[in-house]
Amino acid sequence: MAKTSSWIPHIEAFVDSTRPPNQQNASLDAIVSLVKNDLLTIETLVKEMGLYLTTTDNVIRARGILLLADLLTCLATKPLDHATIHSLIGFFTERLADWQALHGALVGCLALLRRKSTAGVVIDSDAKALVQSYLQNIQVQSLAKDDRKLCFEMLECLLDRYPATVATLGDDLIYGICEAIDGEKDPECLMVMFHLVEVLAQLFPDPSGPLAGFAEEVFDVLGRYFPIHFTHPINNEYGVKRDDLSRALMLAFSSTPLFEPFAIPLLLEKLSSSLPAAKVDSLKYLSNCLVKYGADKVEKHAKAIWSSLKDAICTSSSQDPIFSIVSQKQDGIGFQENEIAKEALVCLQKFILQDDVLVLSLILGDEEIETILSSVTSIKRYNDIPKESKQKLHAVGCMLSISAKVSTPCCNKVFQKFFCRLMDILGISTESSSRGISDGTHELSEELNFGALYLCIELLDACRCSVMGSKEHSPQPVSAEETWCCLITDFSGPLTGALHYILGTSMNGNTSEADIHCGVKGLQILATFPGGSLPISKSIFESILTIFVSVISDSREDTLLWRLTLNALKEVGIFIDELHDSEKVLSFMTIVVEKVISLISLSESSMPLPLRLEAISVVGAAGQNFMLRAIQVLEEAISENFFYASVDGNLKSAEILVPLLECYSNKVLPWFHNSGDFEDVAFRFAVSIWNQVESNKTFNIGVQRKELLGEMMTAMRLAVAGCSEDIQGLIVQKAYSVLASSTFFPLKDVFSVPAKLEELQLTKVVDSLSCRDEWLISLFASVIIALRPRTPLVNVRVILKLFTIVLLKGHVPAAQALGSITNKLPLNINSVEVSSACTLEEAMDVIFNMGLQSASDSGPSRKGSAMDGGDVGLIDFCLNVGNSSLTQTNAVVGLAWIGKGLLMRGHEKLKDVVMILLRCLLLTGSVSPLPLQQDMLGECKEQDMHPTVIRSAADAFDVLLSDSNVCLNKRFHATIKPLYKQHFFYTMMPILLSSIKDSDSSTTRSMLYRAFGHVISNTPLAAVVTEAKRVIFALLDALPMLSLDVRDKDLTYSLLLVLSGIIMDESGREAVTENAHIIINRLIGLISYRQMMLVRETAIQCLVAVSGLPHTRIYPMRTQVLQAISKALDDPKRIVRQEAGRCRQAWVSIASGSTGANIRYCQGSSSFLNGTARPGLNQDYNSETSL
Amino acid sequence: MVSGLINANPVVYERKERRIRDPVAHADEFPYKWYMHADIKDPEHPYSLEELKVVTEDAVEVDDKHSHVRVTFTPTVEHCSMATVIGLCLRVKLMRSLPSRYKVDIKVAPGTHATEAAVNKQLNDKERVAAALENPNLVEMVDQCLTPTYA
């Protein structure tokens, strides 16, 4: 036991209301821990506290009781014995009468009531005493908000935990609760209170019980809150949203059937209100209440409910039935109306579910529906129907389809009543069936009635939905006896004929879009009816497919009909594929797939190739079997055309091949990626291409070869990238063997006889690669780019050398492949592995020093350089001024890609690469080099680099940092070190900045700025902003320098975006404020940037942002800005003018002293009028204006 | 001055749906006729001038070739003392949004205001407009009316 003296001070601290709150909390914690660890019993504590709990000083007594209550709240899990709980609850119950110290008592009661049964709970008799004391003593509505909430929570807890005990109080309890909740307004309390009513209703379910007498009063209190009107902003401090409140109230409404006589009239009344939100709420409540109250209670309101629902649906369903067919999405305007219609339909469905006989008789016997039907069907053409009638038609369609969807008997009734009639109006009879189908035309001489057609299709759709059931259930078996089934079986033939007629006439172009939608949708529904040959026979199914296919293959252009039909075919395909109906799958395969894929080989088809390809890919996408068949044909077509294109130089084949490959890599490969079987397909493709390349020695592709090669490389990359390591290994081996066996390049000779280099070097500069060589190398590079890091590579050294040589000829894919290899090669390997394997170190050695004796005399003299001297490698090509500038440029580009590979994996060799690039940049004239490069530069010839080389060195930084979608990304399995860009940024920035500072030639400096621009525009903004202070000067100098050259406009724009990012960011604010003057000058300069509208627009937006800086900083610039802006007001582009207007307003208002730019004007207050009413009296107001 | 609102219960009309102009097709189309007036707030009510049908799209005439703009507005009630303020708002808005080469004429629609001539004269008098803009209270009021147009 702890000594009394050790914890008494804590009590004193807590009770003393002058102490700071944290001290009070600390003392409470101290006492809690004492009791928890059994160093102090509650009895002792209470005894010692005695006076604090009973003193006549209200404040101290309240604090004392609160201490005890808080203590109990903290001890919720500590077991207490029965006697303690009994005496404590007795104490608190008694204290409820003490209004001055009520808060503590409420907290205490609640803490005790909420205890878990394992830790000791309040017994029933005590609970009862508590309720009695509560009902007698507490006037809830006169208390503060927190206490009210506690009261409600306590009642809720009592009702939850002691239902039997509390129920014995009967009327008193209900009366007390009524009184307590009457007039409550706080949202948090309301949440508890609504739940309280719900629990109360569950407590007295008896229709003749105590609640029955009070139902009206309780509902009277409750009903006032409906509909919930809650205007607090979304992130209010309560954390209570309107939806929460509304849901809680809804549960309270529907908690007991006793509310029915009051609730339903109220809801129906509010349903006719003009507030959309109230309507939606009423409908939600109504559907919930209908379910909860039960059929017999609702019966007497049925008529009223039906007519209200009908009104709601008719007035608020979307205007145009066509839109609902085309797509579910609606534009924003009709949104709320649609919400109402949607809720109304949900409600109608629940209503029918409750009592289908009664409600259906109401619906089917409704006169209004009858009138609408006869009025709409009296007009034939869609375009002639007035807008209101369209809306009504849509509403009727929705109502009928909802009723038919509910259950099979309902479906039967609706069909019986309407279907035959609609068929009659359409002029379709069962007799015409045989003729209608067989000759493919319909005997109808005139157009079909749109209204009837629309309703008929809605009915069919509903019927199909009701048979399909929900997604989880398998479709119900269809029985032939059902009325709907008989009707559909009877009419399916003639109906198909009629719909075919619509599609047929629309091919001639004289049918409205609405009819086309209906026609295609109708056929699609008929084709996707579940259940074998019932109700749709096989012959009809097949004839529908034939109709669709003929539409697809006869079309010459991309029309609405064509799109819709293709989509319908896809849906049908997906449906039967999921159903595993082998018979229908077979029909689909023979009728649709075979026909569509035969389109591809038709060279003389009038249909454009992209359309044919789209048809194939879409139809194929419906199912695995279909796609496998489609790809077979596609592959054949590709290889055939490739053959003709490459051997005969057939231009036409080459032309065809491009879209074929596009389709293959954009549609087919991704599909297989998602559905499996990718590897087989991709492997087959890659190998077949390589086989063709191998067998074909005379490559002869003409004009289109660049585009074709590009597509082929993309397809190859994508195919290889998706494969596993093993398959990739096979493909690489295949590719390598083709490459090695080729005659064009004596691979081995080159590498074993070094002397040839010079020769090589000379020729390669002059000639470009021959066509076949280029294809070989490019395809091989594509394979290499797409490899996974673990895929074994054969003869890495040879490959590396080959690529290095080729890249010097300006072959970018080779450079990218090199980058990929350096990115993915392992750092070290086990000695056991294949001898041809190679580590990154070795690879870098190979690349940089190719082991070729150089003929150039600079070779031996460079022994001391960072790389091993004596040999000629990539670096020498970059720096050796003796070479032609073209070779140098190519070498720099290659180096950039290799550097990118290294950078992304975070390898230290990157430093060498960057140093070489910097050397290229700094090598103009007699520049004093950086100390870091002193040794490298020392022996270099002091000759000028060619400007293009320098430029490419600057652009190399763009290659290094920007994301490429061709190689070195996630898709092609690059090794990516997290935050590599940020790291590079932090290391490069000081070097670049100091070089800029030291350089005195303007060319060098402008190139350094280019490099700098590339680096910061590609680094994530967050990193740049943290360095804003250091970067901003260079950034501001770079902008005018770069804006001089038109070729740099994109870079200028991205730099401007960086600047705007810094301006907008909080942490960049300081740097911006300090340099406001320069920034504004630069921005003004860019306002008149002729070459790019985006630059002008962004510059003006930045100026707007700058106007938010402290006045003292920007005020001096004001005239200048306004002058510049007034020119921008006459800008040829509208967006710029608009921004200029905004900017001008912002700058004008900083001067006028008004806060126009910053104040969000609060709508609804018009008090500012008073100021203007008597302008003379407020003269002292303009102190700021006279600035 | 009157203490209450001059037109306490104005008729509010629906906003005309903005023609969404294809930014590419119409990018160079001069002038930007309408968008800038539509959102000017009424000095008395929390509605825009468009919603009160004080200004309509048809009431703005622009002659780009001769750099001339003419706006005709219709006060909600005949004796509306806010007419000058509305006119001032329109003028300030145009002054700030248009290049300086434009001449702007603002007129009350004939027959819709009790002191039509006086208002017209006041609004098209350079000196008076300049003087009005020296008055901080007026400027503040105008700015508040114009704020929504920049939102």
How do residues A29-54 score in pLDDT, each as one tens digit? 888 888 888 888 888 888 888 788 88
Taking chain A, what is the end-to-end CA distance rounded to the nearest angstrom? 75
**A978 and A1050 fall within a common domain:** no
Question: Residue ranges of chain A with pLDDT lower than 50?
Answer: 323-335, 432-443, 445, 471-472, 746, 748-766, 832, 851-872, 925-942, 1153-1187
- Residue A256 is predicted with a pLDDT of 84
Query: Tens digits of per-residue pLDDT, B21-76?
Result: 443 333 344 444 444 455 677 677 777 777 777 777 777 887 777 888 888 888 87
Residue B96 forms part of a structural domain: yes
Q: From CA A1021, how far away is CA A320, in angstroms rounded?
A: 48
Q: Does A586 touch chain B (CB under 8 A)?
A: no
Give the DSSP per-residue string, A226-241.
Answer: PSP-----TT-TT---
**A829 and A957 fall within a common domain:** yes
Query: Distance from A331 to chain B by nearest Cα, in Å?
Result: 13
Q: What are the backbone dihedrals phi and psi of residue A923, each rounded to the nearest 5 degrees, phi first?
A: -80, 15
What residues of A are in contact with residue B147 (Cβ under 8 Å)? Answer: 1156, 1159-1161
Do B99 and A1164 count as a contact with CB atoms less than 8 A apart? no
Q: Which of A1135, A1137, A1184 should be substituted to probe chain B, the one whose Cβ sees the most B Cβ atoms within 10 Å? A: A1137
- Residue A998 is predicted with a pLDDT of 86
Q: Are residues A110 and A148 in contact, defined by beta-carbon separation less than 8 angstroms?
A: no
**A1045 and A1127 fall within a common domain:** yes
Q: From CA A824, how far away is CA A799, in angstroms rounded?
A: 14
What residues of B are in contact with residue A1151 (Cβ under 8 Å)? Answer: none
- Residue A763 is predicted with a pLDDT of 44
Which residues make beta-bridge pairs with B62? B69
- Residue A479 is predicted with a pLDDT of 64
**A1057 and A982 fall within a common domain:** no
- Residue A1177 is predicted with a pLDDT of 34
A1168 vs B23, B36, B144: nearest CB: B144
The helix (H) or strand (E) run that includes residue B103 is strand B103-108
Residue B113 forms part of a structural domain: yes
- Residue A330 is predicted with a pLDDT of 37
**A1004 and A1034 fall within a common domain:** no
Which CATH number belongs to the domain containing residue A1046 in this structure?
1.25.10.10
Query: Distance from A1129 to chain B by nearest Cα, in Å?
Result: 5
Q: Which of A985, A1019, A1053 marks a domain boundary?
A: A1019
What residues of B are in contact with residue A1153 (Cβ under 8 Å)? Answer: 136
Residue B40 forms part of a structural domain: no
**A882 and A974 fall within a common domain:** yes
A1169 vs B35, B44, B46: nearest CB: B44
CA distances from A302 to A265, A356, A895 (A): 11, 11, 81
What residues of A are in contact with residue B45 (Cβ under 8 Å)? Answer: 1166
Do B1 and A1145 count as a contact with CB atoms less than 8 A apart? no
**A970 and A828 fall within a common domain:** yes
Residue B82 forms part of a structural domain: yes
- Shortest CA distance from A1138: residue in chain B: B97
Q: From CA A843, how far away is CA A851, in angstroms rounded?
A: 12
Which CATH number belongs to the domain containing residue A836 in this structure?
1.25.10
- Residue A1057 is predicted with a pLDDT of 92
Query: Distance from A1123 to chain B by nearest Cα, in Å?
Result: 10
Domain residues for the domain of B60 are: 55-145
CA distances from A896 to A811, A821, A908, A918, A953 (A): 13, 14, 15, 12, 8
**A1132 and A1090 fall within a common domain:** yes
CA distances from A530 to A415, A479, A628, A954, A1127 (A): 18, 12, 25, 65, 69
Query: Distance from A1110 to chain B by nearest Cα, in Å?
Result: 20
Contacts of A920 (CB under 8 A, 6+ apart): A878, A879, A892, A945, A949, A950, A953
Cis ω before A746 (30° cut-off from 0)? no
Give the DSSP per-residue string, A200-217.
Answer: HHHH---TTSHHHHHHHH
- Residue A444 is predicted with a pLDDT of 52
**A806 and A841 fall within a common domain:** yes
- Residue A536 is predicted with a pLDDT of 75
A1148 vs B96, B99, B140: nearest CB: B96
Do A1154 and B27 count as a contact with CB atoms less than 8 A apart? no
- Shortest CA distance from A1175: residue in chain B: B137
Do A1133 and B137 count as a contact with CB atoms less than 8 A apart? no
Nearest to A418 by CA among A483, A476, A355: A483
Do A1159 and B136 count as a contact with CB atoms less than 8 A apart? no
**A1012 and A1121 fall within a common domain:** no
Do A1134 and B135 count as a contact with CB atoms less than 8 A apart? no
Do B41 and A1161 count as a contact with CB atoms less than 8 A apart? yes
Residue A722 forms part of a structural domain: no
Residue B90 forms part of a structural domain: yes
Domain residues for the domain of A1129 are: 1030-1152
**A996 and A896 fall within a common domain:** yes
Residue A508 C-beta-side C-alpha neighbours within 13 Å: 6
Query: Distance from A323 to chain B by nearest Cα, in Å?
Result: 20
Q: Are residues A258 and A201 in contact, defined by beta-carbon separation less than 8 angstroms?
A: yes
Q: Does A1176 touch chain B (CB under 8 A)?
A: no
Residue that has been written with the tokens 């009837």 in this structure? A452
Residue A1098 forms part of a structural domain: yes
Q: How many CB pairs under 8 A join A and B?
A: 93
Do A1178 and B137 count as a contact with CB atoms less than 8 A apart? yes
* ipTM of the complex model: 0.80
What residues of A are in contact with residue B141 (Cβ under 8 Å)? Answer: 1168, 1171-1172
**A1090 and A1007 fall within a common domain:** no
Which CATH number belongs to the domain containing residue B96 in this structure?
3.30.300
Do B44 and A1161 count as a contact with CB atoms less than 8 A apart? no
From chain A residues 1067-1096, the ones with a CB under 8 A of any chain B CB are: 1093
- Shortest CA distance from A1168: residue in chain B: B141
Residue A771 forms part of a structural domain: no
- Shortest CA distance from B133: residue in chain A: A1152
Three-state DSSP state, B73:
strand
Three-state DSSP state, A537:
coil
Q: Does A1122 touch chain B (CB under 8 A)?
A: no
Taking chain B, what is the end-to-end CA distance rounded to the nearest angstrom? 32
Residue A1088 forms part of a structural domain: yes
- Residue A769 is predicted with a pLDDT of 64
A303-341 as b/e, with b when 16 or more CB fall inside 10 Å?
Answer: eebbebbbebbbebbbbbbbbbbeeeeeeeebeebbbbb
Q: Which of A1134, A1160, A1178, A1182 should be substituted to probe chain B, the one whose Cβ sees the most B Cβ atoms within 10 Å? A: A1134
Residue B70 forms part of a structural domain: yes
Residue B64 forms part of a structural domain: yes
Residue A375 forms part of a structural domain: no
Pairing mode, strands B103-108 and B60-63: unpaired
Number of domains chain B is built from: 1
- Residue A454 is predicted with a pLDDT of 84
Query: Distance from B110 to chain A by nearest Cα, in Å?
Result: 26
- Residue A755 is predicted with a pLDDT of 38
Q: Which residues of B touch A (CB under 8 A)?
A: 1, 5, 21, 23, 26-29, 32, 35-36, 41, 43-46, 85, 96-101, 135-141, 143-144, 146-148, 150
Number of domains chain A is built from: 3
Do A1161 and B148 count as a contact with CB atoms less than 8 A apart? yes
Contacts of A868 (CB under 8 A, 6+ apart): A845, A849
Residue B8 forms part of a structural domain: no
